[in-house]
Amino acid sequence: MKSHYSDPTGAQTIERRTLCVLVDNEPGVLARISGMFSGRGYNIESLTVSETEHEAHLSRITIVTSGTAAMLNQIEAQLSRLVPVHKVVNLSAKAAIERELALVKVAQFGEHRSEHRMEALRLATAFNAKTVDATLNSFIFELAGPYEDVERFINLMSAIGLVEVSRTGAAAIARGAEGL
């Protein structure tokens, strides 16, 4: 398609990319990162942050984002030029383990109550989810797993009586002996 600016994003394939960003844990650093995304119009699908090296005051931010390859490369370059950023690593380019934790509340089983309760528990077992709270008409499941598993679990629960979900967003780490 001919346009006045570069190819519209729709014409190119959109990928998901998981980035690990190592930053100085100083006030405002998260605002710098998230502000870069909003200011330049990029997506954040999930973002997790926590101080991982207390001595060095280093925090590790894991960002899942999506866009065209060119856009994702630009996101990496823009992140790298922020002054408190030590390192940006594209974990999707490495074989990486990615996990997220979800707390899933299921309730209001309606007229097929006992059937649905059984089904919910069966699914939880199948997904290796823990039952962390139960009442006569509700459960809370804790599920840790890859993004896709969490998505599938939540979709299945919707059919049964999903009330609420809380997700942490991805934590990710590259396989093998090597560190960042």
Partner 1 sequence: MSEMMTGAEMIVRAMQDQDVAHVFGYPGGAVLPIYDALFQQNSVQHILVRHEQGAVHSAEGYARSSGKVGVVLVTSGPGATNAVTGLTDALLDSIPLVCFTGQVPTHLIGSDAFQECDTVGITRHCTKHNYLVKRIEDLPRIIHEAFYVARTGRPGPVVIDVPKDVQFATGVYTGPDQVSHKSYRPKVEGDASRIAAAVEMMAKAKRPVFYTGGGIINAGTEASALLRELAKLTGFPVTSTLMGLGAFPANNPQWLGMLGMHGTYEANMAMHDCDLMINLGARFDDRITGRLDAFSPGSKKIHVDIDPSSINKTVKVDVGIIGDCKNVLAEMIRVWKDKKYQADAEALKGWWGEINKWRAKNSLGYVNDKQLIKPQYAIERLYAMTKDRNTYITTEVGQHQMWAAQHFHFDEPNRWMTSGGLGTMGYGLPAAIGVQMAHKDALVIDVAGEASILMNMQEMSTAAQYRLPVKVFILNNEYMGMVRQWQELLHGGRYSESYSQALPDFVKLAEAYHAKGIRCDDPAKLDAAIQEMIDYPGPVIFDCLVAKEENCLPMIPSGKAHNEMILPDFTGQIGDVIDAKGKQLV
Count of residues near partner 1 by CB under 8 A: 26
Q: Does 114 bind partner 1 (CB under 8 A)?
A: no
Among 12, 16, 30, 32, contact with partner 1 (rule: CB under 8 A): 32
- Minimum CB separation from partner 1 for residue 30, in Å? 11
Q: Does 78 bind partner 1 (CB under 8 A)?
A: yes
Residue 175 · residue 97 · CB < 8 Å: yes
Burial of 12 (0-12, 13-18, 19+ CB in 10 A): middle
Q: Does 73 bind partner 1 (CB under 8 A)?
A: yes
- HSE-up of 88 (CA within 13 Å, CB side)? 20
User: What backbone phi and psi angles, to 5 degrees, belong to 19?
Assistant: -115, 140
Residues near partner 1, by CB under 8 A: 2-7, 23-24, 27-28, 31-32, 35, 39, 70, 73-74, 77-78, 80-86
